[in-house]
Homo-oligomer: A and B are copies of this chain.
Amino acid sequence: MASIKDIAKKAGVSISTVSYALNGSSKVTDETCARILAIAKELNYVPNAAARSLKKKESKIIGAFLPDFSGGFYGDLLQGMKGTLIQKGYDLVVCSGPQSHRLLAEKLFDGALILDHTFSDEQLLNFAELGHRLVVLDRELNHPNINHVLLDNKAGASLAMEYLIDLGHRKIYVVTGPEGSYDSKQRIAAVRQTVERSSDVECIEIPGDFNRSGGERAGKQIAAEFAGPVAVFCLNDEMAIGMYDYISETDLEMGKDIHIIGFDNIELSEYIRPRLATIDYSKKKWGSLASEQLIKIIEGKPVENERIYVTLVKAESVKPV
């Protein structure tokens, strides 16, 4: 691979001149510049990322960290991030899993967007302390190098519960997320608040994991205890899908025996039948807002923590009692 040195030799100029020419500095004559660029093209020259970021201490790359590469959930989010970042002159790469933490630590990126519970709060604060710029989407963290863009979980969960209650449901199962999840905690809190306000509602919490399998397990339990129509609020759509999967193999019927609402409005929710009621928000906007915040931090501009608003999606999976 040709380096700047090869170009310099071939052009009979110094390395620094080549560098200036390549970077379009006005210092070098148009003629020299043209000659150097021609030679660069001829030699198939591409700058070496490692060398450049070693010297400049920036890579113009942003890392997005997700818990996994699965499914419809992250597509829009990433698209939102990508669009904004490209516009600001940055590239986006996506990483997943604890093994990839090193990529963050080793300063491969100019900043990172985090929606990944495999990072602990302490880890992230530690990274921030070492100078890494972060935007977190799944927790609240206060540090000058960290900003958070969060969903309005409480509004969403209240919306969902009120929807069920307004339609006359009085026995409501709530399938929760994993212990440590900030989103789950927030949603649970709002559920409890809403239930407290209406005296005659029976609310039963079932621990889940935000995955399909958790929804299946919960479905199993609900089916076993079944004694007449019930409502279920799955704290995310994935678990709702899991519950559909399980219930479809019993003689219970979704939208009739079991009235269900999810949270997230993932792509699948629109296609399953009966269509899943859920809480919607713009994943694309979430991604683009988070990216904007990150760039602001990197550029040293002031930032405010932002919030993403949510709306209720009514559908046939929930009917009046």
Chain A residues near B (Cβ < 8 Å): 1, 44, 46-54, 59, 61, 63, 68-72, 74-75, 78-79, 82, 86, 91-97, 99-100, 102-103, 105-108, 126, 130-131, 241, 267-268, 271-273
Q: When the two chains form their complex, are residues A72 and B69 in contact, meaning their CB atoms are under 8 A apart?
A: no
The reply to whether A86 and B107 form a contact with Cβ atoms under 8 Å apart is: no
Given contacts A91-B100, A93-B93, contact A49 B79 (CB under 8 A): no
Assembled-state Cα–Cα distance A131/B1 (Å): 7
When distances are taken between beta carbons in the complex, the residues of chain B under 8 Å from A74 are 69
Give which listed residue, B54, B59, B63, B97, contacts A54 with CB less than 8 A.
B54
Partner of A49, one of B51, B72, B107: B107
Q: Are A75 and B82 in contact (CB under 8 A)?
A: no
List 16 other contacts, CB 8 Å, given A78-B96, A273-B273.
Answer: A46-B102, A46-B107, A49-B106, A50-B50, A50-B51, A50-B107, A61-B108, A69-B75, A69-B82, A70-B75, A91-B102, A92-B96, A94-B94, A94-B95, A267-B268, A268-B268
- In angstroms, how far is the closest chain B Cβ from the Cβ of A75? 4
- A86 to B97: give the CA distance in the assembly, Å: 10
Number of copies: 2
Q: Name A89's closest neighbour in chain B (CB-CB).
A: B99
Whole-angstrom CA separation of A45 from B102 in the bound complex: 12
| Chain B min CB distance to A300 (Å) | 18
Q: Which 6 A-B pairs have the closest CB atoms?
A: A49-B106, A69-B78, A50-B54, A70-B75, A94-B94, A93-B93
A316–B151 Cα gap in the complex (Å)?
39
CA distance A74 to B78 in the complex (A): 14
Given the complex, which residues of B lie within 8 Å of A1, measured CB to CB? Answer: 107, 130-131
Bound CA–CA A183/B178 (angstroms): 41
Q: A68-B79, A79-B69, A271-B268 are in contact. Are A48 and B93 (CB under 8 A)?
A: no
Q: State whether B106 touches A95 (Cβ < 8 A).
A: no
Contact A100 B93 (CB under 8 A): yes
A54→B103 CA distance, assembly (Å): 15
**Once the chains bind, are A93 and B94 in contact (CB under 8 Å)?**
yes
Contacting pair B48 A51 (CB below 8 A): no
Q: Contact between B126 and A44 (Cβ–Cβ < 8 Å)?
A: yes
Question: How far is B69's CA from A70's CA once the two chains are assembled, in angstroms?
Answer: 10
Asked if A75 and B86 sit within 8 Å, CB to CB, the answer is no
* A273-B106 Cα distance, complex, nearest whole Å: 48
